[in-house]
Structure 1
Amino acid sequence: MDKETCFHCGLDATSSKIEFDNKVFCCNGCKTVYEIFSANDLTCYYDLQNAPGATPKDIEGKYNFLENSKITEQLLEFNDGNTQIITLYIPHIHCSSCIWILENLNKLNPSVSASIVNFGKKTVRVTFNAETLSLKNLVVLLSSIGYEPFISLDDYSVGKKHIDRSLIYKLGIAGFAFGNVMFLSFPEYFQVGEFWLEQFKPMFRWMMFAFSVPVVFYSAQDYFISAFKGLRSKILNIDVPIALGASVLFIRSTFEIITDSGSGFFDSLTGLIFFLLLGRFFQQKTYAFLSFERDYKSYFPIGITKITSDEKEESIQVYDIEKGDRLLIRNEELIPVDCILIKGNARIDYSFVTGESKTVSKQSGDKLFAGGKQVSGTIEVDVLKSVEQSYLTQLWSNDVFKKDKSLAFTNITNQISKRFTITILIIAVLATTFWMIFDSSKAMNVFTSVLIIACPCALALAAPFTFGNVLHILGKKKFYLKNASVIEQLAKINTIIFDKTGTITANKETTIDYEGLTLSNEEEALLKSTLRGSNHPLSRSLYGLLNEHDIVTLDAFEEHLGKGIEATYNQNHIKVGSAPFVGHTTESALLNTAVHVSTNNQYKGKFTFYNAYRKGLSLLFNELKKDYDLVILSGDNEGEKDNLTKLLPTKTKLLFNQKPEDKLEYIKYHQTEGANILMIGDGLNDAGALAQSNVGIAISENVNVFSPACDAILDASKFNQLYSYISISKSAIKIIKWSFLLSFIYNIIGLYFAVTGQLSPVVAAILMPLSSISIVIFTTLTTNIVGKNLK
């Protein structure tokens, strides 16, 4: 009996008797994978190599170490007993099909709830149910479909020690072949006769063919694979003209030496691939040198409260957290590090990490994971390890929960380069047809030169490098954007809406008076302990004003957004917030913002706040009024209306007594009227409005209210620079358009010489990466010049 092999993985399938679509499989798992690929038109996966889903024979034993809980605990990012999250490095990720397969792991195993691929880093972040799928079995699953993870156990890190040298190998082979082909071509160049013509010409030509084979089928394979995948997906990507040009050169050259009708274009072919790879290598190095990826977030302006050895509270930045520190986590605050719960009633919302909104209760001594949000008063924790900024950034951009505001926004690069490739193909065909009629000797060079010189790589690089550098510059100036698309959206806004308290007012300069019944020591201690759990700007100001008291662990705590907070301790109940919330019928007209207090259903009095507005507020609004409609949406009463009317431009719209849902509805309505809205507020009461707006900016005063609703975080000390920050976003769009113009000028000039037959493919291959690098240099220099104008 002939041995049959599994179509998917290549193992012996003689005895399995499993057939589908006239193909044999060793198990139902391989059959299921093939069915999924077939149903989604992804069978091109099998065109890359025979049995691409091959499973190493020793795979089961190879990953037995993942059954060791101590090892898996070091590898996992998150583990609450049910849900586990891990990021795995997958070296074999190389195309859009890989992304689709890895992001649809839940179709292979329903225990996987989410999988997100980072194509640039070749990683996949998998969220799975630990009760029904072990980490070992997840790794085996990935290996069985041809995506074996690279796991380094030297330091319990994932893929950090792996360096991809494939580009260097391909470049080396192309360079070696190019040099030898050029050497073997010398007799042809100098028309050497006699001895060369009679004895060695056929051998030299076949040697040139031999040198070109590994260049085409190994060094250039990325271009062919990318072009093929693009065409299968009905997309003409930038690798299509390159692959087409190389194919034409190779086929034409091979035909010539077989028929002995010429020496072919092997010198141009190998030189083309060599210079293309050399350009890609330099682009890669340049991009690494100018790495704007997510590293600029290392100075995130998120603060946390540290409890010192003498029981004092000290605000520190998250990257200053060290192992062994004791931290205070307030209501609605994000836990920035893995830690142990020491004191307090912990109810943790891990939707930030897992996408599931269910909260979990934790007891003293339990482990809490970074990314959880405390939703029931204050807790104190002991730090297990220092913070990873990249992890906080990953949470901020987590696709599991974020609302994608860019769905309706057309990317500027796509707008301009949408039909670029098809236009170049038409020009290449027309020019080649012309030369086939008038001078067929030039036709092949013209066709190839047109395809190469007009490669839209420069277009593709303009936007990421411009936006990347702008992100970097703004980050240094304490304005932190979620991603590059925020810059595009920021440049389109025409309406700016501000919250009042904590946004245009400076909390640290606010003065407070108390009017009412005297609070007993017990009541004031309960008030201070209650305020300690809230991040509302008024709560923070009042908390700092009250005298020192022994902080108590509350029996119950609840915060009602836009209304107030209430807490219970030893049968004593307190309410702090608006007059209606505490059950007090207040006078109809108040001159200032006030916070009312009641204990055990008895009204005690009110704290009146005398607002101090941020430095440069009037000047900022006068700058903004030239280009934008300005609105103040405040949850407070109209007591400050007269002051704001005098302080702000005459056309500024002022609306008071706005609940959080009122702000959201106001924004939604005006968006239907064509407004592109920038909302600026705090990350707590204004979360809905920030999420609804086209761009939402949260003001930060070293308070860790870390909300996925915002698109940017602005350090409060830089509030008066807002106009400059918006201006630089507009400048970024202009720089990209100038880059496109330069690229088009370069393409027009290059195409002229290519179409007229004055440009060889090798020269075109040299000029193409030079044009890309020149665009990178241009965008970097111009954005840096614009950035220097920021204060």
Structure 2
Amino acid sequence: MNKNTCFHCGLDSTSSKITFDDKPFCCNGCKTVYEIFSTNDLTCYYDLQESPGTTPKEIEGKYNFLENKKIVEQLLEFNDDEIQIINLYIPNVHCSSCIWILENLNKLNASISSSIVNFGKKTVRVTYNTKTFTLKSLVTLLSSIGYEPYISLDDYSIGKKQIDRSLIYKLGVAGFAFGNVMFLSFPEYFQVSGFWIEQYAPVFRWLMFAFSLPVVFYSAQDYFISAYKGLRSKILNIDVPIVLGVLVLFLRSSFEITFNIGTGFFDSLTGLIFFLLLGKFFQQKTYSFLSFERDYKSYFPIGITKINADKKEESVQVYDIKKGDKLLIRNEELIPVDCILIKGKARIDYSFVTGESKTVSKQSGDKLFAGGKQLNGTIEVDVLKSVEQSYLTQLWSNDVFKTNKELAFTNITNSISKRFTIIILTIAIIATSYWLIYDSSKALNVFTSVLIIACPCAIALSAPFTFGNILRILGKKKFYLKNASVIEQLAKINTIIFDKTGTITANKETSINYEGIKLSLKEESLLKSTLRGSNHPLSRSLYNLLSEHNIVSLDAFEEHLGEGIEAQHKEEHIKVGSASFVGYTNDTATLNTTVHVSSNKQYKGKFTFYNAYRKGLSQLFNALKKEYDLVILSGDNSGEKENLTKLLPTKTKLLFNQKPEDKLEYIKYHQSEGAHVLMIGDGLNDAGALAQSNVGIAISENVNVFSPACDAILDASKFNQLFNYIKVSKSAIKIIKWSFLLSFIYNIIGLYFAVTGQLAPVVAAILMPLSSISIVVFTTITTNVLGRNLK
């Protein structure tokens, strides 16, 4: 970099005369950014790219509208007394160094606790402390380092994306130049002699050179930038061999026309870049058209309890919630929408949103935000705005809750691509060396053809297209996966563990009988109000059985997972749960599940549940036993053991009286022995076990037990299809392997013709996107056939 070039952005700094640390800057903005980086030991930013930021614009006063609380409220994703979260669209995000600086904003300002980049959507999700930092400060900071957010004030929405037309412009330039170079090459093709050779050959050749310049230095610049940054980071990416081919073609062609020894390969050069960009454009359009992610989110199955005008409760899906609806939020339930607390005592855990385990107490009239988890009995809320499905899915996939569960299949793809690049470079060098000895006229064509024909783009496409389509298909069949890596994990499992109550039993068909001292109306009312606050399957069944009573607002409520519930209203105290939990010591063994009740420390009696098992349970277990170890882990007593022994295959392990921590330790032990565990539970008592397992599936019966602990949600009506869903996951891996094989076969055939000098570079450039298209077609058709075979 010379003394007249801005150290930060690379523009001319002659007129500014601004220096700092003996480095020139074009404006105070660039100087300020460098000072920030230097102070915070972030100057390695400049090692990642030559001009990382764009020229800072004049931003003083530009964002004064962000001091308006009403506007800020509309823009924020989350807001409480201390923490705000916002998702900003950043059009300038384009490479790994952009991601690096945006995910290190906390080093630029200590008030920023985290920033997570979604590179595909060009968004950054920032969490910051409101006491020392504001949204205006954040946007100003981003703008000052060259990453100005795009904020639309038309409808107070963020991320109303401007169409990126740069690829279209580059494709247009390459196509225009390619057509003209081909036209100028016609006399050479037809070997015209005489007047052409004597007078106009040099002119036409230099015109072809002129047309090639914008193609190489503008249309192909993304390939050069990507290859350069990859090499700086010691990564051999896909673009390295492409850039080598382009450079060899351009330099050799320039050498030939300079010394008048030939016409060069400008037709192959411009054609190569044109067809590469055409293939890239097609891939982007195809991926956008298939729109896997949006389809998958639209099926997200969280339910919630709505209180109608006549005070009756009904379960509805969250995307049916409208502004003004009244909702009932039970203990351990997630708040799906922004709302106002109108009844009950709220103690909210926002760790799902912020990543910080800190509860907040709220009073009637306070605003509650989507993503909070109620931890203190039931509350009633008034909805402020309808749910955003994408927000809930984002919450489910929040990076805060990422574990080391996933070893995504795309990592295998990347490792193959890297090895592939090394192998292809070796083949290209050996083949070129051979032709330099035996026929030097073919050496250049061989080198470039090998590099182009063997580009592993088709390999890189197979996994995302296959997994994306499988996510969409399974979503339509009411099996909702958290992300694509769950598919690979499902294909690896060898042990399946089931909870009993609410998982293999159907709550709606369960019959209940009461034995003991008759409960008074006051005690029944308190019991119903207590059960109303719990999402446990037994609580829900018992709540639905009890007669209608006036619901009372509880003074205290606490749910002890795996044991029971206790609550208090005025002087009345009640306990519901296991015999030991309520203090009953004379419990005798029973063949059925029981729930005991005590009121004011006096034992009242027990409810006996006569379980009804889910339809198709026996057939499902018989299908699974051929390939998997099957286990029932239940928190209930062993009363159902005899019935389950008759119903399930002989090798099924049955373990009873298991507390939540016992289930977790059981899974952890078997994983240490080499087991890949699938856990299926109700999502509440089993949260720890679901998180510990390789894949955790929560059974859903339109009850909001959403939790980041689970990797998938299965609609209860599709329980008997579990084996088929696992088979689809295994088939998806086979499809990817087949697409890898097809890509390798294509590359081997193409390499044969390229190495033997029978393939021109421009033909290779046409074949490369065609191979990618063929992989997309193959994976889409095969996964759709899989989907049609599902019931």
1:29-108 equivalent positions in 2, closer than 5 A: 29-33=33-37, 40=44, 42-48=45-51, 52-56=53-57, 58-108=58-108
Q: In 2, Cα distance between the equivalents of 1:759 and 1:736?
A: 28
SS in 1 for 2:315: strand
| One-letter identity of the residue aligned with 1:538 | L
Q: In 2, Cα distance between the equivalents of 1:369 and 1:494?
A: 40
| One-letter identity of the residue aligned with 2:146 | G
| One-letter identity of the residue aligned with 1:665 | E
Query: Would the aligned equivalents of 1:53 and 1:144 in 2 still touch at CA under 8 Å?
Result: no
Query: Would the aligned equivalents of 1:3 and 1:14 in 2 still touch at CA under 8 Å?
Result: no
The CA RMSD over aligned residues, in Å, is: 1.9
| Counterpart in the other structure of 2:376 | 376
| Counterpart in the other structure of 1:18 | 20
Q: Is the alpha carbon distance of 1:263 and 1:5 closer, same or farther for their aligned partners in structure 2, counting shifts above 3 Å?
A: closer
Query: Would the aligned equivalents of 2:7 and 2:23 in 1 still touch at CA under 8 Å?
Result: no
The answer to whether residue 787 in structure 2 is matched with residue 787 in structure 1 is: yes
Query: Deviation digits for residues 490-543 of structure 1, max 9, x if unmatched?
Result: 000000000000000000000000011111111100000000000000000000
Q: % of aligned pairs identical?
A: 80
Q: CA deviation at 1:32?
A: 3.1
Q: Is the alpha carbon distance of 1:34 and 1:166 closer, same or farther for their aligned partners in structure 2, counting shifts above 3 Å?
A: farther
| One-letter identity of the residue aligned with 1:769 | P
Q: CA deviation at 1:218?
A: 1.1
SS in 1 for 2:314: strand
Q: In 1, Cα distance between the equivalents of 2:259 and 2:586?
A: 101
| One-letter identity of the residue aligned with 1:87 | N
Q: Is the alpha carbon distance of 1:258 and 1:408 closer, same or farther for their aligned partners in structure 2, counting shifts above 3 Å?
A: closer
Runs ≥4 residues deviating over 4 A: 2-6, 9-17, 20-29, 34-40, 407-410
Query: Would the aligned equivalents of 2:459 and 2:739 in 1 still touch at CA under 8 Å?
Result: yes
Q: In 2, Cα distance between the equivalents of 1:607 and 1:402?
A: 40
1:590-609 equivalent positions in 2, closer than 5 A: 590-609=590-609
Compare 750-759 and 140-149 and name the one that shifted more.
Answer: 140-149
Q: In 2, Cα distance between the equivalents of 1:109 and 1:504?
A: 51
Q: CA deviation at 1:454?
A: 0.5
Q: CA deviation at 1:195?
A: 2.4
| Counterpart in the other structure of 1:265 | 265
| Counterpart in the other structure of 1:578 | 578
The answer to whether residue 379 in structure 2 is matched with residue 386 in structure 1 is: no
SS in 1 for 2:342: strand
Q: CA deviation at 1:409?
A: 7.8
Query: Would the aligned equivalents of 1:635 and 1:659 in 2 still touch at CA under 8 Å?
Result: yes
Query: Would the aligned equivalents of 1:683 and 1:710 in 2 still touch at CA under 8 Å?
Result: yes
Query: Would the aligned equivalents of 2:499 and 2:632 in 1 still touch at CA under 8 Å?
Result: yes
| Counterpart in the other structure of 1:705 | 705
Query: Would the aligned equivalents of 2:19 and 2:25 in 1 still touch at CA under 8 Å?
Result: no
Query: Deviation digits for residues 594-625 of structure 1, max 9, x if unmatched?
Result: 11111111111111101000000000000000
1:552-631 equivalent positions in 2, closer than 5 A: 552-631=552-631
SS in 2 for 1:714: strand
| Counterpart in the other structure of 1:130 | 130
Q: CA deviation at 1:110?
A: 1.2
Query: Would the aligned equivalents of 2:338 and 2:383 in 1 still touch at CA under 8 Å?
Result: yes
SS in 2 for 1:702: coil
Q: In 1, Cα distance between the equivalents of 2:19 and 2:252?
A: 46
Query: Would the aligned equivalents of 1:18 and 1:25 in 2 still touch at CA under 8 Å?
Result: no
| One-letter identity of the residue aligned with 1:264 | G
Q: CA deviation at 1:345?
A: 0.5
Q: CA deviation at 1:438?
A: 1.0
Q: CA deviation at 1:7?
A: 2.2
Q: In 1, Cα distance between the equivalents of 2:518 and 2:422?
A: 80
Q: In 1, Cα distance between the equivalents of 2:190 and 2:483?
A: 56
The answer to whether residue 738 in structure 2 is matched with residue 738 in structure 1 is: yes
SS in 2 for 1:59: coil
Q: CA deviation at 1:200?
A: 1.9
Q: CA deviation at 1:252?
A: 1.3
Q: In 2, Cα distance between the equivalents of 1:43 and 1:63?
A: 28
| One-letter identity of the residue aligned with 2:56 | T
1:367-516 equivalent positions in 2, closer than 5 A: 367-407=367-407, 411-414=411-414, 416-516=416-516
Query: Would the aligned equivalents of 1:34 and 1:43 in 2 still touch at CA under 8 Å?
Result: no
Q: In 1, Cα distance between the equivalents of 2:156 and 2:369?
A: 18
Q: In 2, Cα distance between the equivalents of 1:237 and 1:3?
A: 33
Q: CA deviation at 1:81?
A: 2.9
Query: Would the aligned equivalents of 2:458 and 2:743 in 1 still touch at CA under 8 Å?
Result: yes
| Counterpart in the other structure of 2:681 | 681
SS in 1 for 2:505: coil
Query: Would the aligned equivalents of 1:8 and 1:34 in 2 still touch at CA under 8 Å?
Result: no
SS in 1 for 2:769: helix
Query: Would the aligned equivalents of 1:181 and 1:266 in 2 still touch at CA under 8 Å?
Result: yes
Q: In 1, Cα distance between the equivalents of 2:33 and 2:440?
A: 55
SS in 2 for 1:128: strand
Q: Is the alpha carbon distance of 1:774 and 1:5 closer, same or farther for their aligned partners in structure 2, counting shifts above 3 Å?
A: closer
Query: Would the aligned equivalents of 1:215 and 1:273 in 2 still touch at CA under 8 Å?
Result: yes
Q: In 2, Cα distance between the equivalents of 1:408 and 1:123?
A: 22
Q: Is the alpha carbon distance of 1:25 and 1:407 closer, same or farther for their aligned partners in structure 2, counting shifts above 3 Å?
A: farther
Q: In 1, Cα distance between the equivalents of 2:668 and 2:633?
A: 14
Query: Would the aligned equivalents of 2:529 and 2:551 in 1 still touch at CA under 8 Å?
Result: yes
Which stretches in structure 2 are left out of the alignment for 5+ residues? none
Query: Deviation digits for residues 689-734 of structure 1, max 9, x if unmatched?
Result: 0000010000000010111000000000000000000000000011
| Counterpart in the other structure of 1:214 | 214
Q: CA deviation at 1:298?
A: 1.0
1:82-481 equivalent positions in 2, closer than 5 A: 82-407=82-407, 411-414=411-414, 416-481=416-481
Query: Would the aligned equivalents of 1:19 and 1:25 in 2 still touch at CA under 8 Å?
Result: no
Q: CA deviation at 1:64?
A: 1.6
Q: In 2, Cα distance between the equivalents of 1:20 and 1:515?
A: 88
Question: Number of matched residues?
Answer: 786
| One-letter identity of the residue aligned with 2:34 | C
SS in 1 for 2:215: helix
SS in 2 for 1:370: coil
Q: CA deviation at 1:199?
A: 2.2
Q: Is the alpha carbon distance of 1:418 and 1:199 closer, same or farther for their aligned partners in structure 2, counting shifts above 3 Å?
A: closer
SS in 1 for 2:292: coil
Q: In 2, Cα distance between the equivalents of 1:318 and 1:137?
A: 34
SS in 1 for 2:158: coil
| One-letter identity of the residue aligned with 2:544 | G
Q: CA deviation at 1:262?
A: 1.4
Q: Is the alpha carbon distance of 1:409 and 1:757 closer, same or farther for their aligned partners in structure 2, counting shifts above 3 Å?
A: closer
Q: CA deviation at 1:587?
A: 2.6
Compare 71-80 and 408-417 and name the one that shifted more.
Answer: 408-417
SS in 1 for 2:60: helix
Q: In 1, Cα distance between the equivalents of 2:429 and 2:670?
A: 50
SS in 2 for 1:62: coil
Query: Would the aligned equivalents of 1:299 and 1:319 in 2 still touch at CA under 8 Å?
Result: no
Query: Would the aligned equivalents of 1:102 and 1:117 in 2 still touch at CA under 8 Å?
Result: yes
Q: Is the alpha carbon distance of 1:586 and 1:17 closer, same or farther for their aligned partners in structure 2, counting shifts above 3 Å?
A: farther
**TM-score, length-normalised on structure 2?**
0.97
Q: In 2, Cα distance between the equivalents of 1:510 and 1:319?
A: 29
Compare 219-228 and 194-203 and name the one that shifted more.
Answer: 194-203
Q: In 2, Cα distance between the equivalents of 1:281 and 1:43?
A: 31
Q: In 2, Cα distance between the equivalents of 1:566 and 1:12?
A: 76
Query: Deviation digits for residues 219-240 of structure 1, max 9, x if unmatched?
Result: 1111111111111111111111
| One-letter identity of the residue aligned with 1:747 | N
Query: Would the aligned equivalents of 1:6 and 1:13 in 2 still touch at CA under 8 Å?
Result: no
Query: Would the aligned equivalents of 1:7 and 1:25 in 2 still touch at CA under 8 Å?
Result: no
| Counterpart in the other structure of 2:760 | 760
Q: In 1, Cα distance between the equivalents of 2:339 and 2:463?
A: 40
